[in-house]
Structure 1
Amino acid sequence: MTRILVFNIFFWMPIISFAQLYSGVVKDATTQESIPYATIGLYKETVLVDGTSSNERGQFQIKNNKEATHIEVSFMGYEIYKILISEILDYQNMNVVLQPSKNELNEVVVQAERTTTQLKIDRKIVNLGTDLQQSGATALEAFDQISEIQTDLGTGSLSLRGSGNVRLLINGKPSAMNSMELLDQIPASSIQRVEIITSPSAKNQADGLSGIINIIFKKNINQGLNLNLNSSVGTKRYQVGFDGNYNTSIVNFRLQASHGERRMDSKQWIYQKYANGNTRDFYAPHDFNGKVTRVTSGLDFFFDEKNELSFEVSYTHDFHSFFNDTYYTNVTGRNDYLYTRNSSHTHKTAIYNVNYRRKFSEDGHFLELDYNVNDNKNILPASDFEDDSFLFDEEQSNKNNLHALAIDYTVPSEKITIEAGTSWNHRKLTSFNNFVPSGGIAVNDIFNYKENLLGIYGLTKFKTGKLNWQTGLRYEYFSSNSDNTMNGQTTDLSFSNLFPSIHLSYELTDKNTLNTGYSKRVSRPNFNHINPFRMGNQYFQWNANPSLKPEFADSFEVNYQYDGEKLNLSIDTFYRYRTDVIQWLQVINDEGVRIVSFDNVGKRNTYGIETNTHYKINSFWNTQLSANYYYSKAKQPNITWTDLYSSNIILKNTFKICKSITTDITYTHVPKRQDVFSQTQPRNRFDLAARANFLDNRLTASFRIVDVLDNNLRKRKLVLTNVVQNETWRFQSQTFGWMFTLNYKLFQNQGKTRNRKQRNYNHGGAIE
């Protein structure tokens, strides 16, 4: 493995030679705003010699040692800029000004053929193309196609670099729902990009030991009246929705709505053998029925070139029901019996957001203020029966209210950029538990919880030669208090901490980049750890622990990326050191119920490597190989295994059959995984997808088959001190899906337009 890595790095790392450097900035002639992602081409007569794209600030750089005659700069909606090499006065300070096109263009719908990954100094950005097999897929299913994110479609678990301690954000902000339910309600077609932040800077809130996953939704601000219709139908599911906007250049109105329903069935076999010789087996089929309705509207005001104000309101109604029969057999000391639990979840979430951005004269100089309110209500009733005899009714409900206020200020200069900001986050949670046993007296208990987090950060960015530096320091003060009427228990916690970060990026050449970074992270005890009212079931229960301490992690990483014309290669390595690890501790009682609690248990060292290679074999065939491996050494008592490991491999081949038809074949292999208490056996899966475009790309039809061979079983062995449990889970892995998308622009505004970016505030969000 070491030889292969060394060969990859040095084979693709070109030798630095003497060459002419061309650099500058691309701007709009009317507004003088920078133009990101413009195309810069270096030509010798009519032959393209070299090329690049401008960055987010419109800056570009080309280093070339070949003969050239002129440079061409182009961007959609602008006239092509052309200048002879002999006419350039200053090669390193070119000021390229593009004139808006005077010709009215026919509508062109551009859709990325493949997903692209952009490596930044402190994060990896996955811009979703059409090759993620999104036909009717949810966000969780889309994540399953990204090798850097580890998911389990059966359990809905989510992890980065072998750890499930992940901070999940939506447009830079948190959700009050857990990750499984949240990702299951988001259509993959609504996602523009995913930011994978494994080495967060001081600008980001310090929660999330393994990093941050930030989902950025699509936001339409195109001129005129635009409408995008989409629908999908598949195995026991359907979804319909639309996305529209009306932009007069001064005011932009946005409206999105979707409704989807999905059913799913799964089967689980569990076999328990106790140390004393007792046994218990159970077979548990599950039926799931769910429906989600989402509505989002927004107003963007562009008062002038320097002031922008946005309002947004969204509402989600998510309902799903569960019907679980558990057939108990081979139970020591009693006859076989049937246990039934009928339950449902209702989640109602309203989100309100206001954002103001003030631009100053210099490009990149701005002040931004963002306020977000997340109001979430949940109702979780359940009824339990044994052999058709009623046992009890239980209902848990909670009101979860989050407020997040943040201010950011950025000041650029010729040599250094300074960023500073502050944030205040507040959560108020009230949980109710109502228990009514058969023939007994109803019991009602309440859990109240409040949490506040104040954060202040400073960040500097500067460049010395080819080396880019980013250093930062963050201060956070955290406090929380709670009371529980069930046992009269109260908590009053407060923590004050500093979190440094440093990142370096070295541009070996215009195609080779080397990055390294360090960040300190924390996992504090929150309501998930100390709330006693969490819905379980007949074989799984939670125990709260209000005595937890914070867990800290120091993370180091190094990554290399090569971006060539045909080959894209990235290699990431990291090391993470965790102290006072907040560990799931498990025990199975005499009734066969697995009881999970949390405690601070020892230390852990984690190492890992991630590789991603994309190669364009020819004009119609692209192939991508992604692989990762993570290893941890757990220095923790009272666990079964101290050597922990996990990995996965994804091989994707995309074929362009003709101009309008593309197919995708994906193979996924998940090798054996070992955790502190369990071992999961290897799994394999083949996925197929096809896409066809019609009506000048306005209409898109996609078809997807997940798990063609229908053999993606999850087999796990759980080893505890008093019992060994073998599990087989056959969830609804094989699915078929169709998706239809229609894009239509009713008319195009003929007035003055401005080069506006799609505005998504990205401070780092509120408390998760």
Structure 2
Amino acid sequence: MKRFFISVLLVFILLNVNAQTPQGGRPGSGPSRGGGMPISSGIVGRVIDAQSNEAVEYANVALFNATDSTLVNGTITNAKGFFMLKNIPNGTYNMRVKFIGYKSHTINKISITDEQPVVRLKALKIEPANIELDAVDVTAKQEEVMFKIDKRVINVSENINTIGGTAVDALENTPGVEVDIDGNVSIRGSSNFKVLIDGKPTAMEGSEALQQIPASSIKEIEIITNPSAKYDPDGLTGILNIVMKKNIKGGLNGLVSASVGNDDRYDGSVNLNYRKNKLNLIGGYSYRQGGRGGNSESYYETYRNDTTFYRDEEGERGHTRISHNFKAGIDYDFNDANLLSFNAQYRLNERERGNESFYEQYTDPESIFVESYTEGENKDEGSSYELSGVYIHKFDEKDHELRLMATFSSNDDTESAYTLKDTLGTTTDIVEETLTETTENHNHGTFQADYELPLGSNKLEAGFKSSLRAIDYNQTGDILNPIPGSPSNEFVYQEDIHALYAMFSGPLGGVEYQLGLRGEYSRVFTEQKANDDSNTKEIFTVYPTLHFSYELNETNKLMAGYSRRVHRPRTFFLNPYEERSDAFTIRKGNPDLDPEYAHSLEMNYLKYFKQSFFNATVFYRQTDNNIGRIQKAINDNMVLLTFENINKETSLGAEFSGRHKFGKWLSANLSYSFFRYTIDGETSGEDLSNESVNHKVRGNANVRFGPNSNLQMFGMYYSPSVTSQGERDGFFFTGFGYKHLLLDRKLTLSLRVRNPFGNFKWRFTSEGSTFKNEFVRRPDFPVVYVGVTYRINEGFKQRRMERENGGTSQDFSEGMTVD
């Protein structure tokens, strides 16, 4: 109850400070439109993307004297795309709008007179710089990867190789992102990142969330490696924000897609949108069935006294997941100043994992030899729902806004796990069986208030967020070494986080800056009820953020950013109960783990050419209290897996990427990244320091056979990498996809093939003072998908346009009238 009153009190403080509406009419009623104070003379307008109709932030607006072309005034657009040029003398002017990645746009012959001292322009639509121009008609195509001041945007809709896949498949071909054999995602060597869906938190963790979201429902994925203070600091390497497809056109429209692949892979979705006047309704359903299978080999050595125990293994494993996702939402614009939105999502998940293996065990110097067979089967079913509501109030002044958001999510999961071990060929055949039932309930609620206040050409942002999370984990059955009288493994996790933040941004000379500070109080309580072992940690931490951007000229730009991040231990990292994960492995958490904290620094250079672009990034990340997965030999051929804070981890490296168009029919992307990765730490007196120089190369070619057919091919190479106790070998991966459009481009037929040569394998070795092991896994490949997509009430329209020095130009008198 105390936590609730703290959150409500903070809400009322914000509302009492900001609820007084400035004097004046509603937006658009008078000369104050476009700024906080009425202007005596000037030009007011807004810049938007011609393809998406979204605001273009930080676009440069320059005003020139029409007679001698001298620069008169200049500014940049704000977060909503608006700009205002004040105190412009009477005369005739030319105005140019430009931004990295877009064609420059010029408006000629704008007149400021006594009769019309203030000119308010209609929305200025600027075209992406990579629009492909035919002699008469053009077809717009967004870049697969776009760079903004604080993030990279992956355009999933343009990637054929995501057909039938998930968000993981969309990230496989992205600079700085790695995907392993099981679909686990890491950014610059770390899997500690936060996943948001349309800017809102989700109950699912990291790679788990990415593996469940169908690519057919995704518009873009935003990779935010240095988030501002407005975002939660969770995730050492930043945030992945999944932007789902929406439609703002009037009437009914939508998208229907389906695909089928080998090995019983199926994917289908329906997304509908209906808009009329102030009301917008959305609804959708998606189904996905997929999995991963393959075979493996492993070799283990454990050392005990003067004896070495050996184990050789050959096995097969399979993994199948089925998911149903339902979503619905409603948006209502009461008026120009008030918007209310509600969204709901419901998921059903089924997952089945199976494995079987044959083992040979022997010793040296003794001659004990044992053959054994093991099999395991895990089945789990789960359901989850997420509810969210957003209220937005816009004050009279442009970009003066209050946003309130509340979310609640709940996830229930039940898992049954069966393990059999059978010793073969011995006089005393020994059969061991283990059967456990596990339930997990996860509830998470948040309330957030964000306030934006323009201060001339600068902007102040402030707000707070409260997050309450409760997880109850309960396991019963035949568990390893149950505590006498308490055969169940019941673990409780409660987390309360309350945060306040403030940011200040704007231009300073030729530099755009953003400064932020976030203060956060967290309280984490854990309890293992089997032995009444409880632990409470209370921490207050501050998280500063800095971002800078400087445009050298129309085609060159520099950006830099710094942020402090945190990664809190997951629940199974903390649970101290011992349990078997297979016949030879025991897993145990560590309730004394502290959070990891990271300092992240990044500098970017962007260069655009007529048919190309080039990006160079230098980055550094230092992680303190690094949480490492530790492996220990505890008895004959048995291994304990646990987690410890092992001191420090660093990554220092660079990324280079570029794109070039070889005429109208061929374009290619190439990227290369490398970083020096170091681990500095120890456990139980054993040195865990390790280091490697990691490399990643990827290439992607796009071939157009005509306006309606497209072929994409990609390949990538990952170099070897290390962990605190091991090393992964390098590997190579390839794939291609084909797309063909029919029926006025409303119907899309597609084909996707991953790893067509089937030669991919994953090899890992690890070593400590009491053990050594290595294993190889070979997944089932190739994977083939064929798909079909139909757009309801939405065709692709081609347009005519003129090109002038790579940009567009028109006179003010030719349609550029005032609002």
Q: Same fold (TM over 0.5)?
A: yes
Residue 227 and residue 163 in structure 1: after superposition, are their counterparts in 2 closer, same or farther (change >3 A)?
closer
Q: Which moved more, 1:738-747 or 1:707-716?
A: 738-747
Q: Which amino acid aligns with 1:416?
A: N
TM-superposed deviation, 1:170: 2.1
* Structure 1: gaps spanning 5 or more residues: 1-21, 43-52, 63-67, 75-80, 101-107, 748-768
TM-superposed deviation, 1:601: 1.7
Query: How do residues 537-552 of structure 1 correspond to structure 2 at under 5 angstroms?
Result: 537-552=582-597
Query: How do residues 289-300 of structure 1 correspond to structure 2 at under 5 angstroms?
Result: 289-300=320-331
| Equivalent position to 1:97, from 82, 105, 122 | 122
**Matching residue of 2:267:** 239
> Is contact 1:541-1:594 (8 Å) kept?
yes
The superposition leaves residues 108-141 of structure 1 with CA deviations (integer Å, 9 ceiling, x where unpaired) of 9987464131221x32222334235111111112
TM-superposed deviation, 1:228: 1.2
Task: Provide the rounded CA distance (Å) in 2 between the counterparts of 1:733 and 1:59.
Answer: 51
| Equivalent position to 1:495, from 512, 518, 539 | 539
Residue 116 and residue 521 in structure 1: after superposition, are their counterparts in 2 closer, same or farther (change >3 A)?
closer
**Matching residue of 1:558:** 603
Secondary structure of the residue aligned to 1:336 is strand
> Is contact 1:406-1:423 (8 Å) kept?
yes
User: Does residue 420 in structure 1 map to residue 445 in structure 2?
Assistant: no
| Equivalent position to 2:194, from 135, 158, 167 | 167
Task: Provide the rounded CA distance (Å) in 1 between the counterparts of 2:789 and 2:522.
Answer: 46
Q: Which amino acid aligns with 2:404?
A: L
**Matching residue of 1:310:** 341
| Equivalent position to 1:130, from 138, 145, 158 | 158
Q: Which moved more, 1:463-472 or 1:596-605?
A: 596-605
Residue 648 and residue 471 in structure 1: after superposition, are their counterparts in 2 closer, same or farther (change >3 A)?
same
**Matching residue of 1:744:** 792
TM-superposed deviation, 1:489: 0.3
> Is contact 1:417-1:462 (8 Å) kept?
yes
Q: Which amino acid aligns with 2:394?
A: K
Residue 69 and residue 497 in structure 1: after superposition, are their counterparts in 2 closer, same or farther (change >3 A)?
closer
User: Does residue 266 in structure 1 map to residue 294 in structure 2?
Assistant: yes
| Equivalent position to 1:256, from 272, 281, 284 | 284
| Equivalent position to 1:226, from 242, 253, 264 | 253
> Is contact 2:486-2:530 (8 Å) kept?
no
**Matching residue of 1:25:** 45
| Equivalent position to 2:402, from 367, 372, 376 | 367
**Matching residue of 2:383:** 348
Task: Provide the rounded CA distance (Å) in 2 between the counterparts of 1:539 and 1:318.
Answer: 29
Residue 89 and residue 559 in structure 1: after superposition, are their counterparts in 2 closer, same or farther (change >3 A)?
farther
Query: How do residues 328-343 of structure 1 correspond to structure 2 at under 5 angstroms?
Result: 328-332=359-363, 333-343=368-378
Q: Which moved more, 1:373-382 or 1:533-542?
A: 533-542
**Matching residue of 2:775:** 727
TM-superposed deviation, 1:351: 0.5
**Matching residue of 2:240:** 213
Q: TM-score, normalised by structure 2?
A: 0.79
TM-superposed deviation, 1:589: 3.9
| Equivalent position to 2:498, from 450, 454, 468 | 454
TM-superposed deviation, 1:281: 0.9
> Is contact 1:132-1:142 (8 Å) kept?
no
Secondary structure of the residue aligned to 2:582 is coil
Q: Which moved more, 1:380-389 or 1:361-370?
A: 380-389
Q: Which moved more, 1:242-251 or 1:676-685?
A: 676-685
TM-superposed deviation, 1:545: 0.9
TM-superposed deviation, 1:444: 2.2
The superposition leaves residues 539-558 of structure 1 with CA deviations (integer Å, 9 ceiling, x where unpaired) of 44431111122332222211
Task: Provide the rounded CA distance (Å) in 1 between the counterparts of 2:414 and 2:443.
Answer: 15
> Is contact 1:224-1:746 (8 Å) kept?
no
> Is contact 1:416-1:463 (8 Å) kept?
yes
Query: How do residues 24-173 of structure 1 correspond to structure 2 at under 5 angstroms?
Result: 25-26=45-46, 36=56, 57-59=80-82, 83-85=107-109, 87=111, 95-98=120-123, 112=141, 114-120=143-149, 122-152=150-180, 154-173=181-200
Query: How do residues 671-710 of structure 1 correspond to structure 2 at under 5 angstroms?
Result: 671-710=719-758
Task: Provide the rounded CA distance (Å) in 2 between the counterparts of 1:593 and 1:262.
Answer: 33
User: Does residue 384 in structure 1 map to residue 384 in structure 2?
Assistant: no
| Equivalent position to 1:474, from 518, 521, 526 | 518
TM-superposed deviation, 1:672: 1.7
Q: Which moved more, 1:607-616 or 1:167-176?
A: 167-176
Residue 250 and residue 535 in structure 1: after superposition, are their counterparts in 2 closer, same or farther (change >3 A)?
farther
Task: Provide the rounded CA distance (Å) in 2 between the counterparts of 1:746 and 1:561.
Answer: 34
The superposition leaves residues 681-730 of structure 1 with CA deviations (integer Å, 9 ceiling, x where unpaired) of 22112211111111111111111111121111111111222222121101
**Matching residue of 2:130:** none
Residue 89 and residue 579 in structure 1: after superposition, are their counterparts in 2 closer, same or farther (change >3 A)?
farther
TM-superposed deviation, 1:628: 1.1
TM-superposed deviation, 1:532: 4.1
Task: Provide the rounded CA distance (Å) in 1 between the counterparts of 2:706 and 2:165.
Answer: 25
The superposition leaves residues 61-104 of structure 1 with CA deviations (integer Å, 9 ceiling, x where unpaired) of 99xxxxx9977999xxxxxx9953475789xx97422599xxxx
Task: Provide the rounded CA distance (Å) in 1 between the counterparts of 2:142 and 2:710.
Answer: 9
Residue 592 and residue 734 in structure 1: after superposition, are their counterparts in 2 closer, same or farther (change >3 A)?
farther
Q: Which amino acid aligns with 1:352?
A: L
TM-superposed deviation, 1:636: 1.2
Residue 73 and residue 526 in structure 1: after superposition, are their counterparts in 2 closer, same or farther (change >3 A)?
closer
Aligned-residue identity in percent: 24
Q: Which amino acid aligns with 2:293?
A: D
Query: How do residues 510-549 of structure 1 correspond to structure 2 at under 5 angstroms?
Result: 510-532=554-576, 536-549=581-594
Task: Provide the rounded CA distance (Å) in 1 between the counterparts of 2:124 and 2:401.
Answer: 25
Task: Provide the rounded CA distance (Å) in 2 between the counterparts of 1:580 and 1:208.
Answer: 14
**Matching residue of 1:12:** none
> Is contact 2:677-2:694 (8 Å) kept?
no
Secondary structure of the residue aligned to 1:382 is strand
TM-superposed deviation, 1:359: 1.3
Q: Which moved more, 1:223-232 or 1:358-367?
A: 358-367
Q: Which moved more, 1:368-377 or 1:646-655?
A: 646-655
Q: TM-score, normalised by structure 1?
A: 0.84
Q: Which amino acid aligns with 2:789?
A: T
Secondary structure of the residue aligned to 1:347 is strand
TM-superposed deviation, 1:39: 13
Secondary structure of the residue aligned to 1:618 is coil
TM-superposed deviation, 1:430: 0.7
Secondary structure of the residue aligned to 2:226 is coil
The root-mean-square deviation of aligned C-alpha atoms, in Å, is 3.4
**Matching residue of 1:4:** none
> Is contact 1:644-1:676 (8 Å) kept?
no
User: Does residue 664 in structure 1 map to residue 712 in structure 2?
Assistant: yes
> Is contact 1:641-1:675 (8 Å) kept?
no
> Is contact 1:161-1:210 (8 Å) kept?
yes
The superposition leaves residues 620-668 of structure 1 with CA deviations (integer Å, 9 ceiling, x where unpaired) of 1111011211212322123455213322111111011111001011111
Q: Which amino acid aligns with 2:197?
A: I
Q: Which amino acid aligns with 1:245?
A: N
> Is contact 2:358-2:371 (8 Å) kept?
yes
| Equivalent position to 1:358, from 366, 369, 393 | 393
Task: Provide the rounded CA distance (Å) in 1 between the counterparts of 2:745 and 2:226.
Answer: 38
TM-superposed deviation, 1:415: 2.4
The superposition leaves residues 578-602 of structure 1 with CA deviations (integer Å, 9 ceiling, x where unpaired) of 2222222222444544432222222
> Is contact 1:339-1:387 (8 Å) kept?
yes
TM-superposed deviation, 1:746: 8.6
**Matching residue of 2:218:** 191
